Amino acid sequence: LAYRAVHADPAPGTADPAPGTAVLVQRLVDADAAGVLFTAADGAAARLEASWGLGEPVVRGLVTPDTWVPAPGGGLEHRAGDKRTRVDRAPGGTATTAVPLRDRARPCLDEVRVREVLALGEAVAAHLGGPQDVEFAVAAGRVWLLQARPVTAPLPPPGAAPGAAPGAAPGALLVGAAGSRGSAAGPARLVRSAADFPHVQPGDVLVCRETDPAWTPLFGVVAAVVTEVGGVLSHAAIVARERRLPAVLGVPGALGVLRDGQHLVVDGDAGTVRPA
């Protein structure tokens, strides 16, 4: 409802009808790996992010996923993620488990599967008539299309190096993934759970481990977003782009390095966070 209040634009002279609720019944694919693909748009290359198990950790920004971007000449640019947890089917629902150390930086998809997902995205975009935000799963050697919807806000240009190491000095430059364009300055507000919401003031820079869809109202208050984990195609990054909030994702140790109330400058184009 908070999202709709911002984006609903009824035709002049018409009432905006109350939204209905759809019930979707869909097969659960026991994914070996899953993720999100944004197809190419407005001259920007496609971008694919994936992690082990079901796609929830990628969508919710619970891990820093593997990333692939098509490169000029037909190659693929790959950046390894830090995939520390995975979600899988379990009795009565799902379960979150630790990913073995040897697999955290190992690519969760091989080049053949990546190219298959990219081709699927191109076909979906052509069929639906525009750039698409696609969710997919890979199970038993097969790629499954789970969902597609229009891309609602363009991706920032590629950039940003791996994040700064935990324990960096409070005055050091922190680097992550450029999640949403623009630059903003404000006091850091460290939020570890919903219990910290009352402390967030207009113009603060939200600093957190990850966000949850229930945190969406905060995006109407803060000036910028910094997360410790998550990718450019996560929920936090998408909402930040739609709200035109600068965002830097996947900054390891941000909650330990930054101080509550410390004035920061967040550059969502370069993927950097520095003291004001």
List the catalytic residues.
235
Extract the tokens encoding 79.
């950046």
Compute CA distances 274 → 185, 186, 252, 259, whole Å: 10, 11, 14, 12
Spatial distance between the Cα atoms of 32 and 51, rounded to a whole number of angstroms: 9
Strands (E), the chain: 33-38, 47-52, 66-70, 76-79, 85-90, 93-98, 132-139, 142-150, 174-175, 177-180, 183-190, 205-208, 224-227, 247-249, 263-267, 272-275
61: left (phi over 0), alpha (psi -120 to 50) or beta: left
